Chain A
Amino acid sequence: MEATSNEFLRGTLKTIVLKLLAEQGRMYGYEITQSVKERTNGEITLTFGALYPVLHKLEQEDFLVTVSEEVDGRLRKYYSLTPSGSESAIQKVSDFERFVEAMQKLLQPNEGLTLNPIKS
């Protein structure tokens, strides 16, 4: 699953990050990876190599603002949404939901031609 899930993940990473930040308010990088891991039961793991470029990109696009705080002798960078980021989060999530619905329709076996016996 590793390689293919990566491929699917690439297009949805921004949506995931925006959605999580919309729910949690403010988060730092490691927290985001852990949150994704927990909520998907380890099915999706974000690597730092994929996450931080997206975070910086979103910051550059003014969807996120950052605050750095010192924690245990190191700097921790907290991300939170800007107003335009919140809008974009709502937009992206609803777009993605429509996409998933459409995909489900595609993945459902075509009526009349189904090979799988229908369980009742």
Chain B
Amino acid sequence: MKKLTPQQLSRLHNHLIGTNTNELLMNELLDHLACEAETYLWKGYNFDLALEKITQDANTMAVKYLRENYQQEVAMTETQLQNASLDDIVFEFRNKAYGAYDLRQNYPLALRNALILGIGLFVMLMSFLSGLSQGSWDFFSPSGVAWIAGLSAVGYAVGTWFYRGQKINFLQPT
């Protein structure tokens, strides 16, 4: 059995990218086309001729048909749709790894953290100014309590943000 070289494989891969193949099907289609190419090589065609035949069969129309057929078949079921978030619906069949999906998923948390951080810093500033104007500092005065409350809010926001970042880093494949 004749094998494709990495260069020949990457030419097939480029063709698939050029025809706008669904990300989820990329590896399988690459294997499929590579198998076809190897069959042609085995029959005695040279690679360029095999590639031409394959790219004729797997042209933009065929891949478009595949994509449409795919979206029809593998669409979310009724129960899945009921449990799906808007993000899931918008990003169905789209590239979730690209980053926008993650940003949207993390948005509520980021917003909450930013709010807590902002309020905390403001409260700290106010209590600091009031302490400054009084000229004395006591942790048991109202401004002292406000300082502690603001500090813990800032600590909480920064802490959860940092913790989440660590978790994401940890989860990412190396």
Contact = CB atoms under 8 A, between A and B. Distances in A.
27 contacts: A28-B28, A28-B31, A29-B32, A30-B31, A30-B36, A47-B62, A48-B32, A48-B62, A48-B66, A49-B69, A50-B69, A52-B29, A52-B70, A53-B66, A53-B70, A53-B72, A53-B73, A53-B74, A54-B73, A56-B25, A56-B73, A57-B74, A60-B74, A71-B31, A73-B9, A76-B31, A77-B31
B30 interface: yes
Interface in A34-62: 47-50, 52-54, 56-57, 60
Interface string A67-85: 0100111111100000000
Interface residues of B, number: 25
A100 to B, nearest CB: 24
B35 interface: yes
The residue in B27, B28, B34, B73 that gathers the most chain A C-beta atoms within 10 A of its C-beta is B28
Interface of B: 3-4, 6, 9, 24-25, 27-32, 34-36, 58, 62-63, 65-66, 69-70, 72-74
Interface residues of A, number: 22
Contact of A74 (B34, B58, B73): B34
A73 B5 CA distance: 9
